Amino acid sequence: MNKSALGFLFSKYLWGGMLLLTISLLIQENIDESRFVWTTIVELVKTVSISIIVASIFTYTLGTVEFLDNITKLLENVVVSRKFLGNLSGDSKKQALKSLLESPDRDKDIYQHIEKYYEDYIRDTLNIANKNVRSNYSIAAQAFFDDELGRVGVKALYSYRLYPSVSGYRELKIGFDEGDDFSKVDKVVINKPDGTRQVIDDIVFKEETKAGSKDRVMVIDLNKYGDKYDHLDIEAYVTEFGADHWFMFTFKALQPTDGFRFHLKCGDNLEVRTYSVFDTGKAYHVDKIGNQELGINCFQWIKEGVGLSALISYPHTLDVESVLAARADAEAEDNVVTTNTHVT
């Protein structure tokens, strides 16, 4: 119905109802109340006329753009907004998301089991509230050769800001694979928003069996230190060791992380031989200075499973014995220079 026709309808029925109401009131004033039949007819006409007036007003109002916009906004607030969805149970939320994200019938015809992928995606999305998330994750690493152990090592500082889930903080776990007897956690520092911190350097490892492997794992109950804080800044000082001439440094995110920085610097003639970033389509930037320094940065959200690896070793033209001999010669030269300087 167009605007002109709606206006005509509104005008016609409104004035007709008002006319009937006026006539009924005039008749009511001029008849005797004892005349029951006429009184009943007048009351009926009054009721009908009032109904016509109210109906004509509502008919006009329902057709206006402003009214339709208000109803649309009201429905959006009820159905789509957090006010409505926030009160749904977990299963109801899954059904609502499934209705929004459900694959088209064409995709179902191509591959019948694609709905399972959507279900897994919805489950992982809804479980985010039960996970701790991190921001500003940074790894500052220094590769070196340990003379006493005869192994390539990496000393790294892992730092990030940690936010609790709806159930608080998860346990902080740092571990090493079975057979890795030399790697260690030097200390863990828990920085609190009030400026205080907790330094944990008496690290105790326990054995944990995972996929048939008996790993060494240290566990810290973060709720013990930060249950009343909305975030904690974590620092973990870790030293890892590889083989006699190479080490594969690997990092994999185990929690949702907002932003990631990695910087590796090699000493003792070590080099970054190759590296790899396993991601999920996120944009990352690689800065490489020769073969001694490597930087990998990502300024987007990354989820569990995203990470990187870097192979650190001596150049193929060198072996461990020649490197140690070169280091000994360099130290001898430094001693001579120092002695001469002292005599002078």
pLDDT band at 53 (very low <50, low <70, confident <90, very high): confident
Q: Report DSSP state, residue 128.
A: G
Predicted pLDDT at 268? 93
The pTM for the full model equals: 0.65
Other CB atoms within a 10 A radius of the CB of residue 10 amount to 16
Cα separation, 302 vs 146, whole angstroms: 34
Give residue 85's pLDDT band: very low, low, confident or very high (50, 70, 90): low
| The listed CATH number (2.60.40.3140, 3.30.559.10, 3.40.50.2300, 3.40.50.1100) that belongs to domain 131-313 | 2.60.40.3140
pLDDT band at 48; cut points 50, 70, 90: confident
- Mean per-residue pLDDT, 304-310: 90
Q: Higher confidence at residue 124 or residue 286?
A: 286
The residue type of 9 is: L
Mean pLDDT to the nearest integer, 58-76: 65
pLDDT at 244 over 60: yes
Q: What was the pLDDT predicted at 329?
A: 59
pLDDT for the residue 266: 96
pLDDT at 231 over 80: yes
Distance CA 281, CA 302 (A): 10
**Which of 91 and 219 is assigned the larger pLDDT?**
219
% of the chain beyond a pLDDT of 70: 72
Position of tokens 């610097």? 265
Q: Does residue 190 have a pLDDT over 90?
A: yes
pLDDT band at 324 (very low <50, low <70, confident <90, very high): low
Mean pLDDT of 88-102: 68
Cα separation, 64 vs 155, in Å, equals 71
Residue spans of the domains in the chain: they are 3-69, 131-313
pLDDT category at 123 given cuts 50, 70, 90 is: confident
- CA gap 74, 305 in Å, rounded: 41
Higher pLDDT, 337 or 91: 91
For the residues 90-115, what does the mean pLDDT come to?
A: 67
pLDDT band for position 339 (cuts 50, 70, 90): very low
pLDDT at 343 over 50: no
CA neighbor of 21 nearest in space, from 57, 49, 52, 43: 49
Across the chain, what does the average pLDDT equal? Answer: 80
Q: What is the pLDDT of residues 248-279, one digit of tens each?
A: 999 988 888 999 999 999 999 999 999 999 87
